[in-house]
Chain A
Amino acid sequence: MSTARHHLPEDLLLAYAAGTCNPAEALFVATHLTLCPRCRSEVERLEAVGGEMLATIEREAVSSSLLEATLSRLDEPAPVTSAPRPQSDGVLPTPLLSLVGPLEQIRWSEKLFGAVKYLELPVERGGRPMRMKRIKRGQRIPEHTHDERELELYLAGGALDVGTHKRYQRGDVSTYEAGERHKLEVDADQDCILLCLDVRLIGTSLSSKVVYGLIGWD
């Protein structure tokens, strides 16, 4: 399998490595990292800086009893430190799969014409639920922009940015800065599944605003 060609922005990589992401960002990053060895190794480099910070930090004395107390607990059974791994569906990486279940069992909410379907995730960002989108194969997304940076991770299917000719496929992250106009064509061979760091969308023309209203894009 080919690896991702469009990667995470550096500020998100740093925030993830430093542990300062909000839950939605952390989910987005961990899902991409599963599919992208390059960003994984970048996060490891950034974590090495964190390790060095830990090694050189000015130490804070611990209670004299803490070592004894900790030694006395070594024989306890290992605590459960991670959620149980769900049965893989071969498409959704574990961080996402453990929240939404296997892809084929997702109950998408459909808008008027069903060109774009949604799933709201139990993770909020800025008071709104994070979402997955399923866009019908061959669908054209008219030109639009957003009022903050838009990040979408391609999990299945693909799309072409008609303006820049960038092609997005599984593992790729599309990044559009606030106000950056773009329009897309979803590949004709299969539906496109996206994980979105969701932002409010603004159509750039009256007709596209009408179209968005109809397909229920936002």
Chain B
Amino acid sequence: VSMVTDPGEDPADEQDEGLLLQRIALERDRDAFAALFKIYAPRLKAFLIRRGHAPAVAEDLVQDVMLTLWHKAHTYQEERGAVSTWLFRIAKNRGVDQLRKQHAAVVDPKDPCLVWPERQAHGDELLERSERSHSLHHELACLPDEQQTVLAAAYLEHKTMAQIASDHRVPMGTIKSRIRRALERLRSQMLDGSSP
């Protein structure tokens, strides 16, 4: 039985996560992997526990997600979002697979049926997007409590809008509009897609 220690000092702040991931992709750099592990393993574990996985199962899934990070580091695209967004995507799909014992339905990036935007974003737009995503953090913290609560329920607690409404004993419309207001406020800070 191994010890569960205090998560300790947060190593997240001083690291360029994109660079660490690049070192894994290009140089198979184990130190870079360990650095990302220290940042994300405790976060992934917390995320998976809030999604209803037992702590031991959550650790197995954390290991899975981190191994996926090691093997798929070369597929990370900075213009599609922060490293945390990429890991969030992997973790939620892995959590779904594990609960249902089947693969989550995801878009296949090499699908010949894939329809591309009529107008591709330009390089400077992509750069702007990545800058804007940095301020998402600040904006999220500034949302009113009731909006933060519903977003947390939707994203972290694996709840549908109907479940959130019944937990809070308010009509579904109220939850929908809280979420809509929260997302509209975040929208300007989020990755801006190619839609006009």
Q: How many A-B residue contacts, CB cutoff 8 Å?
A: 248
* Contact B193–A67 (Cβ < 8 Å): no
With a 10 A CB-CB cut-off, give which of A41, A48, A66, A81 has the most chain B CB atoms. Answer: A48
A49 to B41 Cα, complex, angstroms: 19
* Contact A30–B195 (Cβ < 8 Å): no
A92 to B178 Cα, complex, angstroms: 36
Residues on B with C-beta less than 8 A from A40 are: 107, 193
Number of interface residues of A (CB under 8 A): 70
* Contact B63–A73 (Cβ < 8 Å): yes
Residues on A with C-beta less than 8 A from B68 are: 79, 81
Nearest chain B CB to A12 CB, angstrom units: 10
B106 CB contact (under 8 Å) in A51, A91, A95? A95
Query: Using a CB-CB cutoff of 8 Å, which residues 63-99 of chain B contact chain A?
Result: 63-64, 66-68, 70-72, 80-89, 91-93, 95-96
Residues on A with C-beta less than 8 A from B22 are: none
B71 CB contact (under 8 Å) in A10, A57, A60, A78? A78
* Contact A26–B4 (Cβ < 8 Å): no
B20 on the A face (CB < 8 A): no
Closest to A35 in B: B115
A58 to B158 Cα, complex, angstroms: 17
* Contact A48–B190 (Cβ < 8 Å): yes
Residues on B with C-beta less than 8 A from A65 are: 2-3
A76 to B68 Cα, complex, angstroms: 11
Query: Using a CB-CB cutoff of 8 Å, which residues 1-52 of chain A contact chain B?
Result: 1-4, 10-11, 14-15, 18-20, 23, 26-27, 29-31, 33-38, 40-42, 44-52
Residues on A with C-beta less than 8 A from B133 are: 48
B37 CB contact (under 8 Å) in A67, A85, A88? A67
A64 on the B face (CB < 8 A): yes
* Contact A66–B116 (Cβ < 8 Å): no
6 more CB-based (< 8 A) A-B contacts, given A47-B88, A54-B84, A60-B7: A49-B140, A49-B155, A55-B12, A61-B4, A64-B2, A73-B63
Q: What are 13 A-B pairs at a CB distance below 8 A? A: A1-B115, A41-B194, A50-B88, A57-B47, A61-B5, A62-B4, A63-B59, A64-B5, A70-B63, A70-B66, A79-B71, A82-B108, A92-B113
Residues of B within 8 A of A (CB): 2-8, 10, 12, 30, 33-34, 37-38, 40-47, 49-50, 55, 58-59, 62-64, 66-68, 70-72, 80-89, 91-93, 95-96, 100, 102-108, 110-118, 133, 136-137, 140-141, 151-152, 154-156, 158-161, 176, 179-180, 183, 186-187, 190-195
